[in-house]
Amino acid sequence: MRIALGAFLAGLLLPCSAVAQAPSGPADPDQALTRLQALPPYAMDEVLWLARCILSESNRPDEQRLVAWVVRNRVETQYRGTTYREVVLEPRQFSAFNADTERRRYLMSLNQTSRFLSWRRAVAVALEVYQAPPTARPFDLSVRHFYSPISMQDGRVPPWARQATPLDAAALGVDPQRFRFYANVDETLDPPPALARGAAPTPARSAVSSHEDRPALRTRARSRHARLSGRVARPARPTTPSARRPTSRPDHRP
């Protein structure tokens, strides 16, 4: 009886142990909007900007995930912005947001209540990357650039990419004709608009760091005034719970 009882208990415990040790997967698209709406207004706004950005670049979750990590790397190293909103709207960085086009208006219309499947998948990936521990990072913090060869007209290559070496696409699991990712592209290779106008660039935090303090970075980002350096009008950012009302949603059109 004791042997049988022991075997019975072991049979119950082993599956539980296996489940506990299994790595957590990406957020379920069917639950993504519910999880998004449960976030504080500031965090929800940041995830929305990240989701809009990755959806503008790709419909494939594996590619979206890598793009999202590039955006997060920029935020955490304060490169071209201190928040997801600033990074996405920085001029000449993400083409879908550079001008007032129909595509930009469509992306800006997507919010915490939009239910298109492609959008819910993008929100799921954005939540996954936004909330992931630093150990989940697929590449170094210095990876802050990418471009898509198939999206470039006439086979053009960005000026900064001509002098840089892309990461191993096979190691990242992407098609190099669709996306190429780059590390250590500094402002010498990719000068910001402010530098082109003769102003001193805003120094970025070192991208090579063994210690990361995301709460401290977010606190510091919130305490700063928005760096509105672009030509695209910025929608209002929510600052209070009242921002959940339809009249002040984070994607309110300018």
Residue ranges of the alpha helices (H) in 110-238?
Answer: 117-131, 169-172, 193-196, 214-223
- pLDDT digits 0-9 by tens, 59-118: 999 999 999 999 999 999 999 999 999 999 998 889 899 888 899 999 999 999 999 999
- pLDDT digits 0-9 by tens, 18-50: 222 233 445 578 899 999 999 999 999 999 999
Residue 218 has pLDDT above 70, yes or no: no
Beta bridge partners of 143: 183
- Scan for tokens 């060869």, then name that residue: 149
- pLDDT digits 0-9 by tens, 231-254: 344 444 544 444 444 444 444 444
User: Distance between CA 209 and CA 205 in Å, rounded?
Assistant: 9
- In the prediction, which pLDDT does 40 show? 96
